Amino acid sequence: MTDAIKIDVWSDIACPWCYIGKRNLENGLAAASIDEDAPVVEVTYHSFELSPDTPVDFEGDELDYLSTHKGISREQAQSMIDRVTGVAAQSGLDYRYDLLKHTNTVKAHELLHFAKAHGRQLELAERLMSAYFVEGRHLGRTDVLVELAAEAGLDADAAREALESRQYLSEVRADQKQAAAYGINGVPFFVIDGKYGVSGAQPPEAFAQIARQVWTEHRAVEATADEDAERVTAEV
């Protein structure tokens, strides 16, 4: 069987373009999945903190955050929010910045590693991003994260224990170290098969094209391996 394409995604649950990129990736892979020879893909999410110095309970709304941390006016911040909200809507996402609670995301990243260890990372990534951008949930609080973990099919008690013990913090730091090694300084960032890098929330069509191209490369490698095996058998 041909090896699956491995797509490693560096993102932050508090990054609006990351949720858009996630949805566009999913839609692009869905389009490629109806091909006669459909690509087989494995997606893994990795930790990237856009604002590691953000307090758990940030005082103010997103306009306050952008204006104070990015050094721009509230008018410019509102323009940025309006733009990303419009782009999100084109991907089927209803961003609610009037509800959004800006917070530190390191615990959410730890929870994603816990979910990965229990085979539910994709489900949790979707649940966290929806909770943050659409529902206005406070993702810096352990109780909220545990509730969302349960909604994603994970054991609530085990999730709480993992968060309180900081069991997966080292995995978060390892992801960040790998991002630095790759030279990633913005997210979303997609690494395909460990050799191709794609930056930003590309449209679904781009992801479908990438998947098909890399799958063709996988098939070519498989065909070459089969030919080599047949040659060895014939020589024997």
Render each residue's pLDDT in the chain as its tens digit; 236 residues. 789 999 999 999 999 999 999 999 999 999 999 999 999 999 999 999 999 999 999 999 999 999 888 889 999 999 999 999 999 999 999 999 999 999 999 999 999 999 999 999 999 999 999 999 999 999 999 999 999 999 999 999 999 999 999 999 999 999 999 999 999 999 999 999 999 999 999 999 999 999 999 999 999 988 775 554 454 454 54
Give the separation between CA 60 and CA 70, rounded to whole angstroms.
Answer: 14
**Which CATH class, in words, describes the domain spanning 5-187+199-225?**
alpha beta
Terminal CA-CA length for the chain: 24
**Burial zone of 130 (CB within 10 Å; 0-12 exposed, 13-18 middle, 19+ buried):** middle
Reading the block at residue 3, the tokens are: 């090896």
pTM of the model: 0.93
What 3-state DSSP class applies to 26? helix
Give the separation between CA 149 and CA 108, rounded to whole angstroms.
Answer: 10
- pLDDT value for 225: 58
68 touches 31 (CB < 8 A): no
- pLDDT value for 222: 80
- pLDDT value for 148: 98
Q: Which H or E element spans position 55?
A: none
What 3-state DSSP class applies to 158? helix
